[in-house]
Each structure stands twice: as C-alpha cells, then as structure tokens.
Structure 1
Amino acid sequence: MAREKIISNYIKKLLKQDNLQDTKIKILNIGCGPGRSSEYLSQFGEVVSIEYDKFCCEFASEKTGLEIINGSITELPFDDNVFDLVCAFDVIEHVEDDQLAVSEMKRVAKNNGLLFITVPAFMSLWSHHDVINHHFRRYRLAEVKNLFSFKKDGKMIFSSYFNTLLFLPIFLFRQLSNLLQSGEKRTGSGSDFEAFKPGILNSILYRIMYFESNFINRHIRLPFGVSIMYTWKKNNQNE
C-alpha cells in the first residue's frame, strides 16, 4: 500500500536524522485499527498498540497475534516520558477534544521524543466517507500547527499535505457525490473507489501516491492534498 510505504520511508529518514536508525526504539501506535500499522512499525523497534474500539481491538489481536490495549488517546494508560516515537495515523479527526489528544501524546513521549500524525485535509473534501467513519473535522496545516504550538514545549520537524496528485479528481468526485446524494442515505464504506474493481486501478493509484514519497523524503512541502502529515519533537523550545 502506497500510504504505508510513504510513512515507513519517512520514519526511516526521521530516525536517521536523530541517529536512532540502529537503536531499538519504543513506539506507541495509537488507533492501530486492524493492526497492520503496528506490524510495519515493528521494523523500527518495540511497538505498543492501543485501540479505542473494543471489537476492533479484539479482532486485531486475534488477526495479528499482537497484544493490543483497549484505551483512549485522551486518557493514555502510560506514565510520562515513556516512548521515543508516538504515532497516530488518521486518529485525531475522530476525537472531539483534539487538543487534549495531542497533549496526551506529548505527555507520554520522552524528552526529545518524536510525534508523528496524519489527518484528513480540507473541509471542502467532507463527504459520506467522513460521516461513516465518525470524523469531527478535516484540517488545514495551520490548524494542525496550532494544536501542537498550544504550549512552547517542542518544535515542528516537518509538515506537508500529501496525496496531492489525486486531490483534484477526489475533490470533483466528492462534490458531485455530495450533490447527487443530497437528502439520501448512502450505504457502504465511504471509499471514493468502492464502486471500482481492484486490479489495474489499484496499481495506478499506488504508483501515483508513492511518487510523492520522493518529495516528502526531501522535506519538500506539497501545497495541498487529501491528507496532512505532521512531525514534531518534544522539548525543543523554538516552536
């Protein structure tokens, strides 16, 4: 999956910058869902996984064999200053009090620990996908930065939109879908491509998304996109 590759490649770069590439770091993966993100994060160190949905937690544990803790990002069941890397991939948008969620992530990170989040971008892309997945909001980069700069307790490492090349077709598809589905209850997962069969389309989408990894790994910020990635380091005072 292209998203997984983009995140994995960027974490490799992030750890290399901090001279942690040869260290078995302690990682917290918040909102691990079915567990795949915990599996690929394990290449970087010891992963502790937490999932809010109890059914999903049990399913992921059974599927992956990993120990997954049932808990909330707004009340993390860990002491202060425990983890080298705290991740929350597409989680913050599910939380009404997103400021508290970020504060909890900061609390459990070690001094000089890293935080890495992804969130969906732009309310103009709001659609059935967001409703069915119980999102409270979509973000702009400035709004994410404000969440992290609430206290002067660290600094941003890198921020960017991504899934940029697919932004225009997804925007047009969602606008048209919202217009056509107005007043109707839509069923299904909410995916923009649920009507298409897998195969060649998946291969094309993979190549388009993975191409963006070349920019992100060079810290080249993309000006817009369907999603946002944001990395932050604790205890550097110049936010």
Structure 2
Amino acid sequence: MEVAFEKKYHEVEIENWWFKSRRRYLLDLLRNAPKDSKILDIGCSSGIFLKDLELLGFKTAYLFGIDISENAIANCKANGIPNAFVMDAQMITLAEQFDIIVASDCLEHLEDDRKAIKNWYQLLKTGGEMYVFVPAFQSLWSQHDVVNMHYRRYTNLELKTKLLSENLTISKSSYWNFSLFLPVYVFRKLSGVFLKNKNKEGQIIENSVLNVMLFKLLLLENRILKYVDFPFGISTFCIAKK
C-alpha cells in the first residue's frame, strides 16, 4: 500500500471497526483450537492479531507472521512477536509447517495469487486449516483499492475455485460485511463520478461514534455467520483444509 496510507493504517488498526470485527470473527473461530497449534499470519501488519491469539493462550513461540513491509515487521517485533519476518507472500521461505494459516486481505495484493496459494499449501500441515479473506466484487473497485495497491477483487466462487485447484477442501465460505454492501456500492459509484481523481486517500472511518456503531453491527453479523452464509458482501472468505 502507499506509504502515507500504511502509516494511517498502523495508527488505527487496533480500534478500527473493520479490522477489529474481523479479528474478533477469526478469534472466535480459533478459540477452541489446540493452544500448541503452530499459526502463521500472512500479511501480519503490526502483529495485533497474533497478540490477540497470545491472550487466548496460544504459545508465543508457535506464532509466526510475515509481511512485505519492513515497518510492519518492526512494529510486530516491538509488540512482542519474535517470529516476524519481512517476506513476499508469494514465496514464503520459512522452514516451518503450520497447523493454521491466516491471510486477511493479503491475496489481492499479490500479482500471482495462484503461485501464492500453492506456496501456502506447501506450508500447511496435512489436516491443517487455511483462513483466507479478500475484498469482494470488482464492481466495488475504487480509489481505496488503488491506494491499497490491489490487483483484483474476488467473487466467492473465484476464491473457492483457486483454493480447490490446489487440492484444498472448503469447510465454509461466505461473504462478510453483508449489511453495508449496498451503501458502500452506492458511495463508491458516486465517488467515482463526482470525486474522480480528487480523493487520493483510502477510506478509513475515524469518527468514534460511527466506529462503535459499525463495530457492533459487524459483531451481530459475525454471530449470524455461525448459522448462515451471506449471498454478498464487501469481503468474501473461505476456510479450507488440507
């Protein structure tokens, strides 16, 4: 992502409604996993998710993170995650194999996503699980994607197809952030018409009241996702098993 936006990202990632609610969803999914699981967070940023796993009782020595950003990895180490490394997610060269691999909003940054998935498959132990989140629907493409240096957005079928092509099996797939799809779609289309070439920054909501409201909305969606799969949303994800 662009340098100015990365700085803003690191400033808000702990409390921002989007990042916080997705971490909460993943933490709920992993809560009952064996606490000696070896876990890799691809695109780990400042290591906030890994620290949350540590608080759940997962062993620090078994928590790993990689990120292409030297600043992110410096933050990660400063936050107490020693196994954090600057690496390209298309060619992770760790000698370890992992019980759990998490990649939240990472795959869309990679030019060759199939190469990346193949690499991730090799890093996953037999019986291990991979949790992959990506932005959904090319129709939602906006300046936000440009600032984030995305190559693409995905449909759920596209993501599933690419994971299945590496002999992974899908245990759950859905869209995420269902409720806000329509307003975000309208906003981005109108921004593209009326604010073309004017809005050079990514879209990060910093209003504290709105941040709390949106966080609570997505917590509700997270609970609903235990029972249903959403037909569309701003993101999409798959849980895949080797």
Task: Give the deviation of 1:192 after TM superposition.
Answer: 5.4
**2:236 corresponds to which of 228, 231, 238:** 228
Is structure 2 residue 200 aligned with structure 1 residue 187?
A: yes
Per-residue CA shift, 1:79-103, capped at 9, x if unaligned?
37x1000111100000010001111
Distance in structure 2 (CA, Å) of the matches to 1:76 and 1:3: 24
Map 1:15-164 to 2 at 5 A.
Answer: 16=32, 21-42=33-54, 43=56, 44-45=58-59, 46-62=62-78, 64-67=79-82, 68-79=84-95, 82-151=97-166, 153-164=167-178
Are the equivalent residues in 2 in contact too, given 1:173–1:192 (CA < 8 A)? no
Q: Write the letter of the residue equivalent to 1:186.
A: N
Q: Return the TM-score normalized by structure 2.
A: 0.85
User: Partner letter of residue 58 of structure 1?
Assistant: A
Partner residue, 1:237:
none
- For 2:29 and 2:67, how far apart are their aligned partners in 1? 23
Deviation digits for residues 13-68 of structure 1 (CA, Å, limit 9, x no counterpart): xxx5xxxx344100011110122122123334421111111232223322x13221
Q: Is the 8 A contact 1:83 1:108 kept in 2?
A: yes
Say yes or no: does 1:207 pair with 2:198: no
Superposition TM-score, scaled by structure 1 size: 0.86
CA shift for structure 1 position 75: 1.1
Separation of aligned partners in 1, 2:129 and 2:111? 23
- 2:4 maps to none
User: Which runs of 5 or more residues in structure 2 are unaligned?
Assistant: 1-19
Task: Name the SS for the 1:212 alignment partner.
Answer: helix
Structure 2 counterpart of 1:118, one-letter code? F
Give me the CA root mean square deviation. Answer: 1.6
Bigger proportion of residues as helix: 2
State yes or no: 1:3 paired with 2:16: no
Contact kept? 2:63, 2:81, Cα under 8 Å: no
3-state SS of 2:38 partner: strand
Alignment-mate amino acid for residue 51 of structure 1: D
Unpaired segments ≥5 residues, structure 1: 235-239
Distance across 1 between alignment mates of 2:95 and 2:171: 24
> Would you say the 8 A contact 1:30–1:88 is kept in 2?
yes
User: CA deviation digits over 1:124-174, x for unaligned, max 9?
Assistant: 1111110000000000011001111113x3310100001000111111111
Letter in 1 for 2:86: N
Distance 1:73 1:141, change over 3 A: same
